[in-house]
A and B are shown apart, each in its own frame.
Chain A
Amino acid sequence: MVEAGSGRYLFAVTRGLGDTDLAGVTGMRGAALALVRHRDLEAVVCDVDLAEFGEAALARNLEDLAWLEEVARAHNDVVFAAASRGTVAPMRLVTIYADDDSVRTRIEELHDRLTEALDRVEGRREWSVKVFTTASGPARADEDAPAAVGSGPGSGAAYLRRKREQATRRQAAREQSIELAGKVHDELAARAVATRQLAPQDPRLTGHTETMLLNGAYLVPIDEGEQFRATVDRLGTLHPELTLEVEGPWPPYSFATLD
């Protein structure tokens, strides 16, 4: 069943955006952006075709990585532009309403939570710090040297003992790395207003071969951003057994996105 007609795609709810602040920025599939005002807030929206963004179509499209990438990047472009001009509470991907009245109703319902989120992130940016281990040595069960097995009684048990020793060594190394990553996180958290730890990312999705120990998001005042970056660089130098990747400044996705 193909749904007909159009819906309103909601990118974010903002505070302090002027009517011309998003000039030159287009919405989904080139559609024009609009600001739907309600009380002290603005909803950044555009029209979308329900044949592509309706419930039935989404069930299919959301599993298509190419489609996801196009839509996620278009969504991100709008959120970035809005965050350059005002305080932003981003929406999750494909938050769609029937019309502007529905959008206003929802903003009214969520007004307190939105205000709380916007207050939390005003004047602040998100920074992403990922910590990887550079430790060499067997990290995976299939990379261990095969435990040689002798013959005679007890050799099977001896084989298992060696396997256990290898597993224990791997575990100890992993725990050490995790503890160190925790220390790095604590240092960074001390320089942030808020933090959030995201799930470590699948190496096949990131292209990194090293183990990701920490996927941290840090909320940092705008003016302290470069100082935060310098802190990350310093920690990276201090701990050669870790690789630290810092990215930012970004809109506060991890701190103001309401579900």
Chain B
Amino acid sequence: MAESTPEPPAPPQRAHRLLPQRLETDPESVERDLLKLVLTIIELIRQLMEAQALRRVDEGDLTDEQVDALGLGLARLEEAMGDLKTRYGLTTADLDIDLGPLGTLLSDRFSGPD
């Protein structure tokens, strides 16, 4: 006969934080390393914008024109992102710099719908 002692998962912001992740660059690779960092941040922002756009559309306070413009803008952003990755020979998996809880918040692994 089991008694459950359920405990809600500890909220991430109270958890023990380790030192900042270090992005080691050297003069030969610094340009490429910074590029990967920038593209990763752009990709994170793109995903965040996409999720937020869908939420705003759900809230129903946008006009049809705004929704259409929003969608077109995001589509162009996704396309541009693809072009950049192609140009620099990067796949999504390459943009794998640890960005801490932000990476967690944006990936679908832990967060449910808001």
Contacts and interface: CB of A to CB of B under 8 A. Distances in A.
Question: Do A's and B's CB atoms come within 8 Å in the complex?
Answer: yes
Interface of A: 62-65, 139-143, 146-147, 149, 153-160, 163-164, 167, 170-171, 174, 189-200, 202-204, 211-212, 255
B7 interface: yes
Contact of B71 (A62, A156, A196): A156
Interface string B1-17: 01111110110100111
B108 A146 contact: no
B38 interface: no
Main secondary structure of the interface of B (DSSP, over half): helix
A63 B19 contact: yes
Contact of A160 (B6, B12, B54): B54
Given A189-B2, A194-B4, A197-B7, A143 B71 contact: no
A174 B108 contact: yes
Contacts of A163: 50, 54, 74
Interface of B: 2-7, 9-10, 12, 15-19, 43, 47, 50-51, 53-54, 57, 64, 67-76, 78-79, 82, 92, 98, 103-104, 106-110, 112-113
A133 B18 CA distance: 27
Contact of B6 (A149, A155, A196, A203): A196
B88 to A, nearest CB: 16
Given A63-B18, A156-B70, A196 B108 contact: no
Nearest to B78: A146
Contact of A170 (B10, B67, B69, B108): B108
Contacts of A199: 9-10, 12, 15
A63 B78 CA distance: 37
A153 B63 CA distance: 13
B101 to A, nearest CB: 9
27 contacts: A65-B18, A141-B47, A142-B43, A147-B75, A149-B71, A149-B72, A149-B76, A155-B75, A156-B69, A157-B67, A159-B72, A160-B53, A164-B57, A174-B108, A189-B2, A190-B2, A191-B2, A192-B2, A194-B2, A194-B5, A195-B5, A199-B9, A199-B10, A199-B12, A199-B15, A200-B110, A212-B109
Given A63-B18, A156-B70, A192-B2, 6 more contacts: A155-B75, A156-B74, A193-B2, A198-B9, A204-B98, A211-B108
Given A141-B51, A202-B104, A195 B6 contact: yes
A191 B92 CA distance: 42
Most buried by B among A154, A155, A167, A202: A202
A202 B10 CA distance: 13
Contact of A203 (B53, B68, B92, B109): B109
